[in-house]
Amino acid sequence: MLPHKQIESALQAAVRGALSDADVSAVLVRPCDPKFGDYQSNALMSLAKARKLNPRQLAIDVLAKLEVSAVCEKVEIAGAGFLNFRLKDAALTETLQSAANGAHLFFDKADRPKTVVVDFSSPNVAKPMHVGHIRSTGIGDALQRTLRLLGHQVISDNHIGDWGTQFGKLLLGWKQILNRAELERDAIAELERLYKVINTDCDANPARLEEAKSELVKLQAGDAGNTAIWKEMIALSQKQFDTIYGRLGVQFDFTLGESFYNPWLGAVVADLLTRGIARESEGAVGVFSDGSVPPKEDVFLVNRDGEWVPDPALVRKSDGGFNYTTTDLATIDYRLKTWSPDEIVYVVDDRQSSHFKKLFATFARWQPDAAKKVKLVHVGFGKIMGDDGKPFKTRSGDTVKLGDLLDEAEERALKIVAEKSPELPETQRQEIARVIGLGAVKYADLLPNRQSDYIFSWNKMLALQGNTAPYLQYAYARIKSIFRKAETGNLKAEIKLAANEELTLAKHLLNFGLTLEAVAEELRPNYLCNYLFELAGKFTSFYENCPVLKAGDEATRNARLALCGLTAQVLKQGLEALGIEVVEQM
């Protein structure tokens, strides 16, 4: 067992000894400021508060029962009741040794694996994927990878938008103005054109709108011809989505689009009506406030000019069509019945936060027992901005297509590689540029706190210095070049830690698992980005201060090489958890 886990379980046992009724699942240790120690726990303070105990006294009682002397120096009580732990050097060395021997890479599989549905990417059919889709796709993929690495069962589901009123206009366009050659050249662009032309027509001419509506009604009624065209539109769009997913290395277990849930929507609304959860209003059906919570906390109310007014979750339109929320309710129901997940995680733009609040609240009213068994989480994120402070656009003011963005990333990276390493053969330079370009874009998106907007900057994300993917990829390649020069590298050498820089690096390696757990717990990949950036920094100061290949003696050289090897492995594994590749040479 890794030291932090040993400390945690000993601490939990001691807390149970001191407070027999305590729920110890929240008794955790976290890395802390080296001034105080290596790990810290703040759990005693909330336990004491809940019981009106003096936290310092509780800490003294727990300490009396705590047995961690195998891995820690004397445990200290600090401040209002923090516990500070400092690892014994021997425990540190031993953990590095077992990692060097291949027993682990500083993380354990979860004791209690969860089943988690990750709903991410979810583009809409007949529309190109644009720069904004990198957010849901990249964050969702990093989360599914990290959760899987920790042994959780993940079901990734691409909830594509393949149903809705837009298909009336698309069908009309397909039948009247389709350009087959253009469809073959770039299907989504042609579909987008059809939609735009017909949409303009419809705005100007109510008769056209009626025509489009009747195409939609035919589709909804299962008309064979319209269904066939609709299916072709989905297949053509999916082909382009798949090209992008292939480039990004993103995989889904399922692609169950909105249309998959059509058969259940009528029953969902009927059930909501019978149970008195939804009601009719102006011909539509919606879920309204039930007055059970104060207005400020009520997701079915909004404040307009100082007054609280209804903001219902609509589930049926006045024309009988169903809403986004109806589909999402049927989707939760299906997912629970099919996979019994512990959690469903939605990686979707923060602009939909009110939708998800109402959705989760509606589901809790509709199926209270099922709702208690599942955690529904909206993993929201902010916008990508241009350096003019407005949403990121092309020079001509259009949305940036994701495919074009990835092309540009690779082209820009190729220029950098050609300058840095002109001696490498062309095909190798291209492969390096692909890995660096895509890595740079993904990492720049994962690094900020996901709820913040960030400014898209090619120069910043492609820089070899600073908190960027190329910097981390370069750190990895540099370690690999040490091994190429070393020729022999006994990775299983005996670990010795003496210099401060060696100890600091070793302790940071130990925090890899805790970082992965924090990412999985709080659904924030940026923790891992920052961890890896610090790792590369600590490696650099180690490498600058502790000669590796020119170490004084064979044993030191081998021990330091082993430390290099472990750093490289963690960099590679960490980047992989973010969906970012490495190259052996740059």
Binding stretches for ligand ARG (CB under 6 A):
119, 122, 124, 159, 161, 328, 331, 346, 348
* Cβ at position 310, least distance to ligand ARG in Å: 22
- Measured from the CB atom, the residue of 206 and 263 that comes closer to ligand ARG is 263
The residues, ordered by sequence, that sit 6+ positions from 469 with a Cβ below 8 Å of its Cβ are 436, 439, 440, 442, 443, 444, 461, 575, 580
* Cβ at position 549, least distance to ligand ARG in Å: 52
Residues in the chain: 586
Return d(Cα 156, Cα 128) in angstroms, integer: 21
Closest CA to 568 of 486, 500, 499, 461: 486
Write out the H or E segment, with its range, that includes residue 185. helix 180-185
Strands (E), 361-407: 375-379, 384-385
- Measured from the CB atom, the residue of 359 and 528 that comes closer to ligand ARG is 359
Residue matched to tokens 């299907």: 187
- Measured from the CB atom, the residue of 392 and 542 that comes closer to ligand ARG is 392
- Measured from the CB atom, the residue of 351 and 415 that comes closer to ligand ARG is 351
Tokens encoding 484: 């190429």
* Cβ at position 493, least distance to ligand ARG in Å: 50
* Cβ at position 331, least distance to ligand ARG in Å: 6
Is the four-CA dihedral 314, 319, 324, 328 of positive or negative sign?
A: positive
- Measured from the CB atom, the residue of 38 and 328 that comes closer to ligand ARG is 328
- Measured from the CB atom, the residue of 122 and 156 that comes closer to ligand ARG is 122
Return d(Cα 85, Cα 83) in angstroms, integer: 7
* Cβ at position 357, least distance to ligand ARG in Å: 13
- Measured from the CB atom, the residue of 121 and 511 that comes closer to ligand ARG is 121
Return d(Cα 92, Cα 481) in angstroms, integer: 27
- Measured from the CB atom, the residue of 328 and 333 that comes closer to ligand ARG is 328
* Cβ at position 349, least distance to ligand ARG in Å: 7
Residue 305 exposed, middle or buried by CB count within 10 Å (0-12, 13-18, 19+):
exposed
* Cβ at position 370, least distance to ligand ARG in Å: 17
* Cβ at position 172, least distance to ligand ARG in Å: 22
* Helix, strand, coil in percent for the chain, rounding step 5: 55, 10, 30
Tokens encoding 549: 């290949």
Report CA dihedral (305, 310, 314, 320) to the nearest 10 degrees.
Answer: -100
In angstroms, the Cα distances linking 337 to 120, 239, 568 are 20, 30, 43
